[in-house]
Amino acid sequence: MRFSRLYAPTTKEAPKDALLASHIYLSRAGFISQVASGLYNYLPLGKRVLKKIEAVINEEMANIYAQEVELSFVTPIEFWEESGRVNKFGKELLRFKDRKDNGFVLGPTHEEMMVNIVRGRVTSYKQLPLNLYQIKTKFRDEARPRFGLMRAREFVMKDGYSFHASYEDMDREFDLMEATYKRILERLGLEFRIVEADSGAIGGSGSKELMVLADSGEDTIAVCDTCEYGANVEAAVRAEPRCDAPAPALAYEKIHTPELKSINDLSTFFKADSYYIVKTVAKRLIFEEDSKIVLYFLRGSDELQEVKAVNAVNALEIADVSDEELRELGLVPGFMGPMGLENITLVFDASLKGAKSMICGANEKDFHYVGVDMETEQLEFSDLVQVQEGDGCARCAGKLSYTKGIEVGHIFKLGTTYSKPLGATFLDENGKSQEMVMGTYGMGVSRLIAAVIEQHNDEKGCIWTETTAPYRFNILISNIKDEEQLAYAEELYAELSARGVEVIIDDRKERFGFKMNDAELIGFPYTIIVGKNLAEGIVQIAPRSNSEKIEVKKDELLARLMELK
């Protein structure tokens, strides 16, 4: 490619809306341009990077016999009604009607469609397993798109689906996909962590997320400082906490506690560690049809994890509750507790199982009970706690700490979540009809573009990794009017092109500094500077990843460049 022909409108200033490094540099360097909220055009450089990432994914998929397909973007809404996901997806699902008044959606993910092309055609266990995937534009009408390609409404995702005759085989494929995704991210040159995750609305028995580590990541993950354990805080677990302070030696009794509403106040008043105080958190849980208030009970030293709270009662959403709403139910804000409540759903954190000598609200203004033991029989326990930094690892003696991650992949063990409602069955060895066991594997291709830059940039611009760079070499002619420079650079360009190397030559009639700044903003891994010291037979290689320019004799240049590969 010739720079003089390249459409890459670079700018000195970033669009005012860009906040993250990836958004700023991808815009400034002319990779993308925004069309509307959450919608982006990919300019030539952006499209090249997208294809580079896709190529790596395609190669790795081929290695494990996954086959690429392409499903229609516009999908009949019937499929979504059949799976029951229309409501679950809500407004994210962009719906519309065609001229004949038939309902359609723009595909935000393709479980339904993929099951549809398999069911009725795959009818025997002999045809399984099967792993099909596509790399395609998805559309989710996000309530709040942001951060450029990081959270766009229209985005490119690789979505894969596997079909199996048994859970064992699904597990095998799941592990294989995890290993394959790991290899893809390694090849892309990313630092990442595979963590346990909440399965969310997609359902299924287990899931893992691939997190590219970056401070700008939207997800908080808890990682162990000793072992491999890592999990999204939505799903992270910890070692059973211990409290060194003694339990308050108080017999069961109702105590007058005027105006003592906070855990802190109570802790001081009773000289008891907050570990021994029951924290009551009221939330409104929203279900498909209705909503209700649920009371969650935790140790005073813990915080409620809202995703866990939602999962504990199988709700869709969680919302805050006002004091008025609580009073209407006969509850007393500040003095709530588990005792003597009827017709309210109560969920206890697992760490309260068998707890003794606890302090809790009496559901009466200015009163608390002390010396309360948790009756384990009738109570419903669930893990509700958000792990904190410094908590012990559940797997080893290590400590957990937080880090931020960009979710670039999510793999799920679906089981029969979709094959059952959509009727994807096969005949097993005994001629018996079985539902297919499925896995699903997503990878955000366009988000990966942003993730690479979030992790690899400096004050000058993008620093593409070897496998993601739009061009590997940039031949910069310092003075285009110098015939020797021009001739040598053109010769080198022809030679590298002939070798199939991805190379661009900066043949623009611009000054050195201008071209160098563009090269650094765009972020080519290597810029070869053909300049004034060509007269002494010297050219320079300027690697983008560090500021050291390497001087090379021109006769040795080609060999050096090929060594870099």
Residue number, 372 or 552, with CB nearest to RNA = 552
Pick from 148, 26, 221, 125: nearest CA to 429: 125
CB of 437 to RNA, least distance (A): 19
Residues shown for the chain:
565
Q: Identity (one letter) of the amino acid at 474?
A: N
Q: Strand pairing of 253-256 and 206-213?
A: unpaired
CB of 26 to RNA, least distance (A): 14
Residues 159 and 441 sit within 8 Å (Cβ to Cβ): yes
CB of 144 to RNA, least distance (A): 3
Task: Give the number of other Cβ atoms within 10 Å of residue 565's Cβ.
Answer: 8
CB of 478 to RNA, least distance (A): 4
Q: Measure CA 43 to chain center.
A: 25
Pick from 213, 217, 152: nearest CA to 446: 152
Structure tokens at 234: 């939505």
CB of 495 to RNA, least distance (A): 19
Main-chain phi, psi angles of 153, to 5 degrees: -80, -45
CB of 264 to RNA, least distance (A): 22
Residue number, 19 or 564, with CB nearest to RNA = 19
Residue number, 151 or 238, with CB nearest to RNA = 151
Residues 237 and 214 sit within 8 Å (Cβ to Cβ): no
CB of 142 to RNA, least distance (A): 6
Residue number, 128 or 516, with CB nearest to RNA = 516
Say how far apart CA 297 and CA 359 lie, in whole Å: 12
Residue number, 351 or 386, with CB nearest to RNA = 386
> CA–CA distance from 63 to each of 50, 67, 95, 186 (Å)?
20, 10, 37, 16
Residue number, 298 or 516, with CB nearest to RNA = 516
Residue number, 152 or 503, with CB nearest to RNA = 152
Residue number, 253 or 551, with CB nearest to RNA = 551
Residue number, 144 or 256, with CB nearest to RNA = 144
Residues 105 and 139 sit within 8 Å (Cβ to Cβ): no
CB of 474 to RNA, least distance (A): 12
CB of 525 to RNA, least distance (A): 15
- The contact set with RNA (CB under 7 A) reads 10-17, 19, 34, 36-38, 89, 92, 108-109, 138, 140, 142-147, 151, 157, 159, 197-202, 207, 218, 306, 316-319, 410, 442, 460, 478-482, 509-514, 516-518, 520-521, 529-534, 540, 542, 549
Coil, helix or strand at residue 223: strand
- Rounded to 5°, the CA angle 382-388-389 comes to 150
Contacts of residue 116, Cβ cutoff 8 Å, sequence gap at least 6: 79, 422
Say how far apart CA 291 and CA 160 lie, in whole Å: 34
CB of 17 to RNA, least distance (A): 4
Residue number, 140 or 456, with CB nearest to RNA = 140
Residue number, 263 or 550, with CB nearest to RNA = 550
Residues 470 and 52 sit within 8 Å (Cβ to Cβ): yes
CB of 10 to RNA, least distance (A): 5
Instruction: Return the residue matching tokens 């048994």.
Output: 166
Residues 373 and 404 sit within 8 Å (Cβ to Cβ): no
Residues 547 and 562 sit within 8 Å (Cβ to Cβ): no
Say how far apart CA 359 and CA 268 lie, in whole Å: 12
